[in-house]
Amino acid sequence: RKLASSVDATDDRGLQAAHRHALGLAAYFRGRYEEAAAFVREAIHLALRGDDSDRLWKAWVALAQIAAQRGQFEEARRSLDFASAAASQFDASDERDAMFAHVRGVVEFRAGQPHAAKAAFETALKTRNQHASPISLGQTLSSLSAVETVLGHLREASDLAQKSLQIFTLELGPQHPSVLDGQNNLGASLLMQLRADEALPHLRAALAAREAALEPGHLRLLSSQFNTAQALLETGDAQSAAALLQAAIDQVLRSEDPPPDDLAEHEARLALALARLGRRVEADELAKRALERVSTPQVHQRVLHLAGCTALELGQTVSGTKRLSAAVRANAPDPAGASENRLVTSNCNEGVRTR
C-alpha cells in the first residue's frame, strides 16, 4: 500500500499490474477474499492495457483461486479458461500445465467434486514427480491427501500427508503455512481412521500456529478449529469442543462474506457437541438450522450425517436413522472404495475438514 502512489505515478502498466496482483495475493492469504478479488481484477485490467500476457495469465489464475474460496465455482472455472488462453501464446511448459491442473483440482475440491479434483491433482503429480521443485510437489501431495481423505481412501491419504509434511518441514521449516496444512491433513486422515489420540497433537499444533498468524474467519483457521473440535469430541471433551466451535461460528458470522456451507458444517458439529452435553433444545434447533443453510451436495452429505448423529444422541431414533441413511445414499462412493466409504459414513465420528 505504501508503494501505491509512486507506482501509479509511473506509466508502466506492467509494474502497476504486478503491484495490484501482489496486493490481491496479500489480501487472499489473510482471508480477505472480496478485497483480493478487487485488486486482482484491477491487475487484469492493467495487464490488458499494457499488453502484459505473462502477468495476465497469472492474475487470471489468482482470480480463479479467490473465486473458489468464495464459493463462486463457475467464475473460478472461467478464470482458469481465460488463464489458459492467455498463456497459450508462450512456449509449452510442463510446470505451467501442472500448475493449471493443480489449481483446477483446488477449484473442483472446493466445489464438492472430489473425483474431478483427484483426476486433476494426479495429472499435476505426473509432471511434478519428475520436474517440479520439492515445494510444488509437496503442495500437490498435500492436496491429493485431502481428496483421498474425503473419498475414504484413508491409507493412501495418510501416506500422502506424511510425504508432504516431510517435504515441507525440510524445505520450509516447522511454522510455515504449508507445514500447517500438512499437519491438518494428516490429523484429518487419522481422525477418519478413528485415531483421535494420535490426530490431536497434529491438529493442536496447526490450530495454535494458525490462530497466531491468520485473521478470524480465515478458511484454514476454520478448518483447524473444526478438526480440533472433532478430535476433542472423540476423546470425550465435549465442553472444549463446543467452546471452540462456538468461537468459530462467531468468527464466520462476523466475516465480510460468510460462506453458508462452512457455517452449516460448524453448526452441525456444534449441535452434536451440545447434544452430548445434554443441551437438548439448542442441539435440535441448531441441527435443523444447519440442514436448512447448506447448499452444496458434498457438504449436505456431511451435515446430514452430523444431524443424524445428533438426533440419535437426543433419542430421536427414527429421525436419526433417516438422516444417516440419506447421508449414506448421498455419499455415492466410487467402486474401488465403496466398502471403505460406507464404513466411514456409518460412523458418528466422521466429518473432518481437509485443507
Nearest to 230 by CA among 110, 355, 354, 350: 350
- 318-343: pLDDT as tens digits: 999 999 999 888 765 443 333 333 33
pLDDT (average), residues 254-278:
85
- 151-188: pLDDT as tens digits: 888 889 889 988 998 998 899 887 787 788 888 888 88
Question: Which amino acid would we find at residue 48?
Answer: L
Residue recorded with cell 460406507: 342
Q: pLDDT category, 346, cuts 50, 70, 90?
A: very low
DSSP 35-56: HHHHHHHHHHHHHHHTT-HHHH
Cell of 47: 495487464
HEC profile of 293-311: HCCCHHHHHHHHHHHHHHH
Report which DSSP code applies to 336.
Answer: G
The overall average pLDDT reported for the chain is 86
Mean pLDDT lowest for which of 124-138, 254-268, 337-351? 337-351
List, in order, residues 6 or more apart from 147 with CB less than 8 Å away: 105, 109, 114, 117, 118, 121, 354
Cα–Cα–Cα angle for 331, 334, 335, rounded to 5 degrees: 130
Report whether 327 contacts 342 (CB < 8 A). no
Helices (H), the chain: 4-8, 13-29, 33-49, 53-69, 73-87, 94-110, 114-128, 134-151, 154-172, 177-192, 196-213, 219-234, 238-254, 260-276, 280-293, 297-313, 317-331, 338-345
Report d(CA 220, CA 46) in Å as an integer. 31
Q: pLDDT category, 256, cuts 50, 70, 90?
A: low
Report d(CA 290, CA 272) in Å as an integer. 11
Residue recorded with cell 500437490: 140
